[in-house]
Amino acid sequence: MTGPRLVSILRQGPYLIASIHTALDDSQMTAFQHDLVDRIGRDRARGVVIDVAALDVLDSFATRTLRTIGEVARLRGAVTVVVGIQPEVAFTMVALGMDTGSLHTALDLEEGLALLDRAVGPRRPVTALRGGAA
């Protein structure tokens, strides 16, 4: 596919920052899931921030995909935080009856990284042990 990138995945220290830049259809969403999970393994990331601030809709498929990413990441020893969910989108997800499971959420990128710092702890590999045990 040509044109502007739909998503980007950047590394920052032990974390990955994945940003979705525009509305994705289901196959693009699934491709994003595979790419990100791949990168988590390759980079041995300990935390992942997924920025969805650009999305005006998070329907059942998108939510489920985010959940799956979070669960797979956890099994690989990484904590996933979804950031930037818009107020209207949050309202709609709840009205839709979406269960976001164990997904962590934060207001924005900055808060998401702070949450990862608190959850992962700069050096102790607590999460990896927990992830391994799960």
Partner 1 sequence: MSSSQGPATTTAGFDSPGEDQLLPQLVAHLREHRARLRHEWSERIQQAGLLHAMTPQEMAAETTSVYDNYVEVLETGSVEALQRYARDLSERIIPRGVETHEVVGIVLLLRDVLARSLFEKYQRDFGLLNRVLDAYEPAANRIANTVAVSFVEERERVIRQQQDALRELSTPVLPVRERLLILPIIGVLDSERARQLTEQLLTGIRTHRARVVVVDITGVPEVDESVANHLVQTVDASRLMGASVIITGLSPKIAQTLVTIGVDLSKMDTIGDLQGGLEEAERLLGYTTSRDDGTGGP
Partner 2 sequence: MEATGCVGRSAAGASDAVAALIPMVRRIVGARVADVTTAEDLVQETLARVLAASGRVEPGMLEPYAIATARNVVATAWREEDRQRRNRHRVVDLTAPDLPEGGLLAEEERSAVAAALARLSERDREALVAHEVSGRDTRSLATDLGSTAGAVAAQLHRARARLRVEYLLARDRTEPPTDRCRPVLFALSSGDRRRQREVDAGRHLLECDVCAALSQPLLERAPQRDDEVRIPIDGDADVVAARQAARELAGRLGCFSPTDLTLIATAVSEVTRNIVKFAGSGEVVVEVLEQPRRGVQVTARDAGPGIPDVERALQDGYSTYAGLGLGLPGARRLMDEFAIASEVGRGTTVTMTRWCADR
Binding residues for partner 1, rule: CB under 8 A, are 74, 79, 83, 85-91, 93-95, 100-102, 104-108, 111-112, 115-116, 118-120, 126-127, 130, 134
Determine contact, residues 129/74, Cβ cutoff 8 Å: no
Q: Output the six-digit token pair for 35.
A: 């790419």
- Sequence-distant (6+) residues with CB within 8 A of 56 are 23, 86, 88, 89
Binding region for partner 2 (CB under 8 A): 1-3, 23-28, 56-61, 64, 86-89, 91-92, 95-98
Q: Which among partner 2, partner 1, none contacts residue 126 (Cβ within 5 to 8 A by kind)?
A: partner 1
Q: Return d(Cα 5, Cα 106) in angstroms, integer.
A: 24
What does 9 bind: partner 2, partner 1, none (CB cut-off 5 to 8 Å by kind)?
A: none
